[in-house]
Structure 1
Amino acid sequence: MYIKPLRTEDDYRAALREVESLMNAQFGTPEGDRLDVLATLVDAYETRHFVMEFPDPIDAIKFSMEQKSLAPKDLEPMIGRLNRVYEILNGTRQLTLPMIRRLHEELGIPAEVLIRQKRAAA
């Protein structure tokens, strides 16, 4: 089994094509082993070259609200009075640690996302 490091975009694309062709390989077979090694190489390449940043905290809250069909009023137990909720959603007030904890616990938003600073307007 000859496998080489993925150094270029072409190497990466070729590995993806081969991974796709091996997707039905059985575990413990030579094809299954090749799939396992190639998938590991592809994952390492993607980790190095396709870095994903966390979303803006407010965008994450709004996305979670949309997914759960929540209105701003539904955030009152986590954030405070409705005017405070709107201040948070409009970006005029920062999240506090207690708010972050409650949003994480109630909405399941990762705390790592919520503690990030709001992005500066472009």
Structure 2
Amino acid sequence: MTVKPIKTKKDYAQAMERLEMLFDAKKNTTEGDELEVLSILIEKYEDEHFPIGLPDPIEAIKFRMEQLGYNQADLAKVVGLKSRASEILNKKRKLSLEMIRQLHDKLHIPTEVLIQPY
């Protein structure tokens, strides 16, 4: 099969079918090269047609807190006050630039997630 650009849903379906056939191809073989190129084309098509948005900033904070075993008091140490942490988690207070910096630095949440409106 000749690798070609993926422009339609039909092209995408055919590419996915071919990808499945090539999935176990060895690197540095003709099929392995085809698999690599096909994967790139599929990823490009999916990025354009099935974009995944960024998570809600507050949900991202809650998720990260859960991962780290943090509670509201731990978040208060990052954002300043316990009442402020509560307001943030309940979406009653917007994140300030300084809070975004602290959350990024201390919890390693990407700034592009934190700066979104909610």
TM over 0.5: yes
| Structure-2 separation of matches of 1:50 and 1:87 | 34
| Structure-2 separation of matches of 1:71 and 1:20 | 44
Which residue in the other structure is 1:111 paired with?
111
| Structure-1 separation of matches of 2:52 and 2:75 | 28
| Structure-1 separation of matches of 2:69 and 2:16 | 37
Q: When the two structures are superposed, what TM-score results if normalisation uses the length of structure 2?
A: 0.91
Runs of 4+ with deviation above 4 angstroms: none
Q: When the two structures are superposed, what TM-score results if normalisation uses the length of structure 1?
A: 0.88
Query: Is residue 69 from structure 1 mapped to residue 69 from structure 2 by the alignment?
Result: yes
Q: 1:67: Cα distance to partner?
A: 2.1
Higher mean displacement: 19-28 or 38-47 = 19-28
Q: Give the fraction of aligned pairs with identical amino acids, expressed as a percent.
A: 47
Q: How many residues align?
A: 118
Stretches of structure 1 lacking an aligned partner (at least 5 in a row):
none
Matched ranges for 1:26-37 at <5 A: 26-37=26-37
| Structure-2 separation of matches of 1:13 and 1:106 | 43
Which residue in the other structure is 1:13 paired with?
13
Q: 1:10: Cα distance to partner?
A: 2.6
